[in-house]
Structures are given as structure tokens and as C-alpha cells.
Chains A and B, each alone.
Chain A
Amino acid sequence: KAGVTQTPRYLIKTRGQQVTLSCSPISGHRSVSWYQQTPGQGLQFLFEYFSETQRNKGNFPGRFSGRQFSNSRSEMNVSTLELGDSALYLCASSSWGDRAHGYTFGSGTRLTVV
């Protein structure tokens, strides 16, 4: 079956702009989590959605937001980009309540803010 698809793969944006990243989970998975990975901070949890509702949220400013659609696809948005937002953004899908089988991650979106 198809894996987790993240688009775009690479993105270059200018400081102050906004960006939207997309994640399509594995078919049948209704939970989508987002992580930010940087060399300095490592893997940081952003938020998690299940059935179009945000279930968990990490410690990120309000510039970071997300949503999930009825087909379980998710988007995350970062407004007023800062240089420090340059990172690899990873999406992971899982079956809510059955995550003991692990998360499946996408290949990530590499965002560079200049």
C-alpha cells in the first residue's frame, strides 16, 4: 500500500512569507502528527490531528497551525516565516488508539527560509 506522502519535497521561502505543507496519510489511518526537525533542537512535536480535530499540541507559537480534512489529509501552515523556521518538517500517520503498531513517517518537506 502507498506510504505517507508529503508535498512539496523542498521549498524555499523568504522571511515574512507564509507556507503550507501537505501530508497524505496511509489509507485507513486517521491520525496525523507533525514534527519539526532542526540540527539544534532535534525532533520537536508540533501537533496531532484525528478525525479533523487537533488532539495534541506542542510548544510552538501561534504562527504554526494545521488542519485535517475529512479524507484524513492534513496541512500545516506557518505564517510570517522566520529564518529559524528553516527545518525538515515530518508528517507521520498512525491508527489512533492502535499506535502501538508504530508511526509511519513521510520523507519530509525541507523548508529553507532566506
Chain B
Amino acid sequence: SQQGEEDPQALSIQEGENATMNCSYKTSINNLQWYRQNSGRGLVHLILIRSNEREKHSGRLRVTLDTSKKSSSLLITASRAADTASYFCAPQDTGFQKLVFGTGTRLLVSP
């Protein structure tokens, strides 16, 4: 199993702006998953992108994957205060391997 590394560590924006966070990993993957965690709560699965996919959308979320650069990005468009949370990426080598989480990106969206 490998751990993703999120960047930046913290991001502060205004409501309505877009938020972009990045994830880098080290070795080839089967898929990469993004999760959100509101303060003191469990993680919520946002989106999964497979290694043969380059881009995926879910509502205001857009995830891209560049396997040649071993990186992924999560874009949240038209951010809302409710998007304030920590965001984690989790690369998965195979469907059977455990997920290992990095330190995440702390996003603060101010009204």
C-alpha cells in the first residue's frame, strides 16, 4: 500500500471561488480515491478515479489523474462555506489493499 501526499496543507478561499488541491503518489495504482472529513467526523467518500481514466466529475467536483506524473487533482467549483473540511487522497495499488491516508488538505471557505 502507498500513501498519497496532499498539497497544499492548507487553503483559504472565499465563497464562490474555486478550490484546487493536489495529490502525488509514488508507484503505479489501480485507482485513486478522494475523501472529505468535516471536523471531528468520519470520512466521506467523494469520488474514485481509475487508472485508465483521466477525468471524472461529480456535481461541483472534478478530479483529474495524470498517471505519467503520478498525480491527481481535486477541483471544487463555486465553493461554499459547507465545503470547509479536510480533504484526503488515497491511492490504491489493487482493489484488495488497505487504504493509507496522508495528512490531507485543510480547506477553509469563508462567507
Task: Say if the beta carbon of A56 comes within 8 Å of chain B.
Answer: yes
CB distance from B104 to the nearest CB of A (A): 7
Is B43's CB under 8 angstroms from A90's CB? yes
Listed residue (B35, B40, B50, B99) with the most chain A CB atoms within 10 angstroms of its CB: B99
Task: Say if the beta carbon of A69 comes within 8 Å of chain B.
Answer: no
Contacting A at CB under 8 A, from B16-47, are 30-31, 33, 35, 40-45
Contacting B at CB under 8 A, from A38-89, are 42-43, 45, 48, 56, 88
Is A97's CB under 8 angstroms from B104's CB? no
Is B104's CB under 8 angstroms from A48's CB? no
Is A102's CB under 8 angstroms from B33's CB? yes
Which secondary structure characterizes the binding site on chain B?
loop
Is A104's CB under 8 angstroms from B96's CB? no
Is B43's CB under 8 angstroms from A92's CB? yes
Is A33's CB under 8 angstroms from B44's CB? no
User: A43 with B101: in contact, given A90-B42, A107-B41 (CB under 8 Å)?
Assistant: yes
Determine which of A42, A45, A97, A107 lies in contact with B96 in the assembled complex, contact meaning CB atoms within 8 Å: A97
Chain A, residue nearest B43 (CB) = A105
Is B42's CB under 8 angstroms from A98's CB? no
CB distance from A37 to the nearest CB of B (A): 9
Is B95's CB under 8 angstroms from A105's CB? no
In the complex, A17 Cα to B30 Cα: how many Å?
A: 42
| Residues of B that sit less than 8 Å from A by CB | 30-31, 33, 35, 40-45, 48, 50, 88, 92, 95-104
- 17 residue pairs of the A-B complex, CB under 8 angstroms, read A6-B42, A33-B99, A42-B103, A42-B104, A43-B101, A56-B97, A88-B40, A92-B42, A92-B43, A99-B96, A100-B31, A100-B48, A102-B48, A105-B42, A107-B41, A107-B42, A110-B40
| Residues of A that sit less than 8 Å from B by CB | 4, 6, 33, 35, 42-43, 45, 48, 56, 88, 90, 92, 96-108, 110
